[in-house]
Amino acid sequence: MSSETHPAPSAAPTAVVYGAPSPELVEAGAGAVQTSPLVPGSTALEDLAPQSVERAVIAAPPGTLERRYVEALALQALKPGGELVVLAPKDRGGARLKGELTGFGCEVEETGRRHQRICRVLRPAAPEGLDAAITAGGPQRLDRIGLWTQSGVFSWDRPDPGTELLIRNLPGFSGVGADLGCGLGQIARAVLASPAVTELTLVDIDRRAIDAATRNVTDPRARLVWGDGRGTPELSGLDFVVMNPPFHEAGVESRGLGIAFITRAAAILRKGGVLWLVANRHLPYEESLTRLFSRVTPVRDAGGFKVYEARR
């Protein structure tokens, strides 16, 4: 098994940015180093040396555990007196920012603009509660799902019914394949139960998912890649592809995202290769499947999800 994540930063950054804050609301700065786990190749906040950064700008994620984890890591990385700017839509965590930062021992200057709350603080000499927030939002093994996971990853703390439906209906595969948008690795584990599979590439745009899947999928036939399933890494001539494609981007439903995954699968499969996917019932993927594949077979429709086999 191999895994491709956590590139080492070329030099210790003095300023960092997390996500894509609107430049109309706050300037990250031309030299700010990206630290979001959703940007392949970015520097991990976890890898920054304590008290080494002068400024951090965070487009805060909506989940409470994930957001507090990011805030705590940024405060840990900042030098005493360093500036932290955190912003989020009011209805997606923004209303909680001031209270969270105050709880870490910060004096908060809060403003509002364009339905966003923007909080500015200077790191105190001794922030409070950072270790607890980092532990709560960090990698952990949850017994109820039997997997390593982390807050912020898709379906991080509960089984996903679409994934489970796909797993129950998968055939035995053989040859070389890929799992696009692999998440925590549940589908990959089911695929690798077949001894006829010779290699499986797991791809996800979320570094946290790849880190968790590296622990969950220890089979030497697995190769894990932090990248965008729509184009990275280079793959071709595959015997099979499996996926539960994402359909939300930046918190908004995007049907084009799933269609891009289907298009990518068709491009990397050999003639006669097969795609197995699950999707929410309301997503109209049938036109793309019938256009790109020679034979499309509905396999199962249950619980609001549908499973398809599509052959090149």
What tens digit of pLDDT does each residue of 239-256 get?
Answer: 999 999 988 666 666 778
Once rounded to an integer, what is the mean pLDDT over residues 103-131? 97
Q: Are residues 119 and 180 in the same domain?
A: no
Are 114 and 172 members of one domain? no
Asked which of 137, 167, 189 is the last residue of a domain, the reply is 137
* CA–CA separation, 140 and 142 (whole Å): 6
The residue out of 137, 155, 176 marking a domain boundary is: 137
Residues 155 and 36 in one domain: no
128 shares its domain with 148:
no
What's the whole-number mean pLDDT along residues 22-28?
A: 94
Looking at the structure, do residues 78 and 155 belong to the same domain, yes or no? no
Number of domains in the chain: 2
Same domain, 80 and 201: no
Please give the model's pTM, rounded to 2 decimal places: 0.94
Are residue 171 and residue 291 in the same domain, yes or no?
yes
How confident is the model at residue 29, as a pLDDT? 86
Last residue of a domain, one of 114, 137, 160: 137
Question: So what's the pLDDT on residue 253?
Answer: 64
Domain of 243, CATH number, reads 3.40.50.150
Tell which residue, 250, 248, 263, 259, has the closest CA to residue 284: 259
Instruction: Tell me the per-residue pLDDT of 208-219, one tens digit each, with 9 for 90 and over.
Output: 999 999 999 999
Looking at the DSSP bridge assignments, the partners of residue 56 are 16, 84
Whether residue 114 sits in one domain with residue 24: yes
Do 157 and 271 belong together in one domain? yes
Same domain, 113 and 199: no
Residue 11 has pLDDT above 80, yes or no: no
CA atoms within 13 Å, Cβ hemisphere of 58: 29
User: For 191-201, what is the mean pLDDT?
Assistant: 98
Q: What range does the domain containing 232 cover?
A: 140-311
Q: Residue 101's pLDDT is what?
A: 98
pLDDT for res 270: 98
Give the pLDDT score at 271. Answer: 98
Residue 8, pLDDT > 80, answer no
Domain co-membership, 90 together with 205 = no
Average pLDDT of the segment spanning 253-265: 89
Same domain, 153 and 98: no
